[in-house]
């Protein structure tokens, strides 16, 4: 009897995964692990250059194939591969390669891994810039944090980025969302059909080893990729407003800031006399998190869910964050630390958590309960596979029902396709010594 062939998956990454550098890459790796658990045949491709901290996909049994932007070489590659599922990592990859996938593998299920809603993050960043321009003195941002989903829609609706991103979501057969808040925003205000969206948060194994106790921990910690704008803004807010308030109450306090790709502007902030230490990249983020007593994550803008706060829970490290940091992360569960909206309140909560062992212990236990309630791999991994299987089994009907997506794909073929082909021809002629007029 002939054995069925394994499902073939092509993942097109914006970058090669670096799970120790960003939560977005960590989520991609968790999805790949769910696929591997099914025995699926996986190829990972990216037009990006190799990063410093990239994961060894080949060691996991995943094929690595570099690809080029605006090149018909991709057409021959995907036609020969003939995948059953194509997963785009971030919407820009769907923009670049989606029309090629549809042209050469029309029966492949097209899935978008969003990581976060980038247009929401950028709109919130602009809102913060406007607020700081109008009032650069007040350190209370409750007015920004209080804005609801209708206001978020108003911020996003007229931006080019939102139009591009929402169009990509419509064009795909399924979109993986880490944030329930973003699902509601898309369904209620951008009117995406709910069945195009699948809630797929970080997928974790619960910690089994004992966590480092309160009395054996020291220092505050903040961690995050310095290239990610929300993280860099949080560093500046800590440096200029929050950390001086903490040091007033705890004169000997030390803050260790870890992050991948540390730029000179970050190392320039290093000041041991103030207890403000720029530590560069952490080889083992969980190890340094386990030694810290309190994690600081004062995010003034952002989207999605925050890997640094998940890491803190895994390590039993209470945290202090903002409503943006905690958004979509805890449902009705108590938060493992404190959620505050001003520099003064963040500093006060941080000092209290650092000094009060009973409060610290309650926060630590809340973190473990939250992980068990919302982030178990054993729940979300099978749910993802079931959803993908159901979509593949009903693909023709799903596409008929999604007329808006079909319409957008039609127009994409008339714009993105021809622009890409023009760029490819321009590059070819430029190499030959002439450029088309």
d(C-alpha 172, C-alpha 406), whole Å = 9
- Going by pLDDT thresholds of 50, 70 and 90, the confidence category of residue 108 is very high
Final residue belonging to a domain, choices 375, 407, 423: 375
Give a yes or no: residue 348 inside a domain: yes
What is the per-residue pLDDT across 31-43, written as a single tens digit (0 to 9) for each? 999 999 999 999 9
Binned at pLDDT 50, 70 and 90, residue 433 comes out as: low
Asked if the structure places residue 336 within a domain, the reply is yes
- Residue 70, in any domain of the structure: yes
Q: What is the DSSP string of 314-328?
A: HTT--EEE-HHHHTT
Does 194 score more than 80 pLDDT?
yes
Residue with tokens 């194939």: 65
pLDDT tier, 424 (very low <50, low <70, confident <90, very high otherwise): confident
Element (H, E) at 109: strand 109-113
Non-local CB neighbours of 286 within 8 Å, separated by 6+ positions: 311, 314, 315
Residue 266, domain member (yes or no): yes
Per-residue pLDDT, 111: 98
- Are 324 and 422 contained in the same domain? no
pLDDT digits (tens, 9 = 90+) for 231-279: 999 999 999 999 999 999 999 999 999 998 899 999 999 999 999 999 9
> Are 219 and 194 members of one domain?
no
Strand ranges of the sheet holding 41-46, from the earlier edge strand across to the other edge: 63-66, 41-46, 8-13, 85-89, 109-113, 174-177, 197-199
Tokens of 418: 């021809």
Distances (CA, A) of 64 to 19, 35, 44, 211: 16, 15, 5, 37
The answer to whether 22 touches 58, Cβ cutoff 8 Å, is no
Convert the pLDDT of each residue in 139-162 to its tens digit: 999 999 998 999 999 999 999 999
Residue 425: in which H helix or E strand, if any? helix 403-432
- CATH number of the structural domain spanning residue 55: 3.40.50.2000
Last residue of a domain, one of 338, 359, 375: 375
* Angle (CA) 225 230 232, round 5°: 60
Of 327, 348, 375, the residue at which a domain comes to its end is 375
The answer to whether 203 and 138 are in contact (CB under 8 A) is no
Whether residues 290 and 419 fall in one domain: no
Q: Would the pTM count as exceeding 0.85? A: yes
Query: How high is the mean pLDDT of the chain?
Result: 94
Cα–Cα distances in angstroms (integers) from residue 77 to residues 104, 241, 279, 419, in the given order: 10, 52, 42, 20
> Which residues form the domain of 26?
8-119+149-203+378-432
Q: How many domains does the chain have?
A: 2
Are residues 341 and 228 located together in one domain of the fold?
yes
The verdict on 334 and 358 lying in the same domain is: yes
DSSP string, 148-163: -HHHHHHHHTT-HHHH
State the Cα angle at 135 between 305 and 235, rounded to 5°: 40
Q: What is the pLDDT of residue 247?
A: 98
| 191 in the same domain as 91 | yes
Q: Are residues 190 and 286 in the same domain?
A: no
Tell whether 297 and 220 lie within a shared domain. Answer: yes
Q: Are residues 163 and 253 in the same domain?
A: no
Note whether residue 136 is domain-resident: no
Task: Convert the pLDDT of each residue in 309-355 to its tens digit.
Answer: 999 999 999 999 999 999 999 999 999 999 999 999 999 999 999 99
**pLDDT tens digits along 58-80:** 999 999 999 999 999 999 999 99
Residue 93 inside a domain? The answer is: yes
Pairing of strands 294-297, 197-199: unpaired
């Amino acid at each position: 009897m002939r054995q069925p062939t394994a499902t073939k998956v092509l993942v097109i990454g914006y970058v090669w995964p670096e799970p120790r550098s960003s939560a977005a890459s960590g989520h991609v790796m968790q999805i790949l692990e769910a696929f591997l658990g099914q025995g699926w045949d996986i190829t990972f491709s990216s037009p990006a250059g190799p990063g410093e901290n990239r994961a060894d996909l080949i060691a996991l049994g995943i094929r690595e194939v570099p690809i080029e932007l605006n090149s018909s070489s991709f057409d021959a590659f995907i036609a020969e591969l003939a995948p059953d599922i194509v997963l785009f990592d971030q919407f820009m990859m769907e923009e670049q390669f989606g029309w090629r996938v549809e042209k050469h593998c029309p029966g492949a299920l097209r899935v978008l891994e969003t990581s976060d809603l980038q247009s929401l993050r950028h709109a919130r960043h602009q809102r913060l810039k406007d607020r700081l321009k109008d009032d650069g003195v007040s350190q209370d941002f409750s007015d920004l944090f209080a804005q609801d989903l209708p206001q978020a829609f108003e911020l996003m609706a007229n931006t080019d980025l939102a139009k591009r991103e929402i169009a990509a979501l419509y064009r795909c057969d399924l979109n993986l969302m880490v944030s329930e808040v973003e699902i509601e925003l898309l369904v209620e205000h951008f009117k995406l059909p709910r069945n195009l969206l699948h809630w797929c948060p970080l997928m974790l194994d619960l910690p089994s080893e004992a966590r480092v106790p309160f009395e054996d921990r020291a220092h505050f910690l903040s961690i995050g990729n310095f290239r990610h704008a929300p993280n860099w803004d949080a560093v500046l807010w800590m440096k200029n407003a929050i950390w001086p308030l903490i040091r007033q109450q705890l004169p000997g306090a030390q803050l260790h800031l870890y992050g991948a790709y540390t730029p000179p502007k970050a190392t320039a902030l290093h000041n041991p006399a103030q207890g403000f230490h720029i530590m560069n990249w952490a080889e083992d983020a969980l190890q340094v998190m386990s030694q810290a007593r309190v994690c600081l994550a004062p995010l003034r803008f952002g989207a999605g869910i925050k890997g640094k706060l998940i890491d803190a829970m895994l390590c039993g490290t209470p945290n202090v964050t903002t409503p943006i940091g905690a958004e979509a992360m805890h449902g009705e569960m108590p938060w493992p630390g404190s959620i505050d909206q001003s520099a003064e309140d963040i500093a006060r909560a941080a000092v209290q958590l650092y000094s009060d062992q009973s409060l610290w212990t309650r926060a630590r236990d809340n973190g473990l309960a939250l992980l068990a309630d919302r982030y178990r791999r054993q729940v979300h991994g099978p749910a993802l596979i079931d959803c993908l299987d159901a979509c593949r089994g009903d693909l023709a009907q799903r596409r008929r029902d999604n007329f808006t997506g079909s319409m957008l794909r039609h127009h994409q073929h008339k714009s993105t396709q021809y622009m890409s082909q023009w760029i490819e021809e321009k590059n070819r002629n430029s190499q030959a010594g002439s450029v088309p007029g």
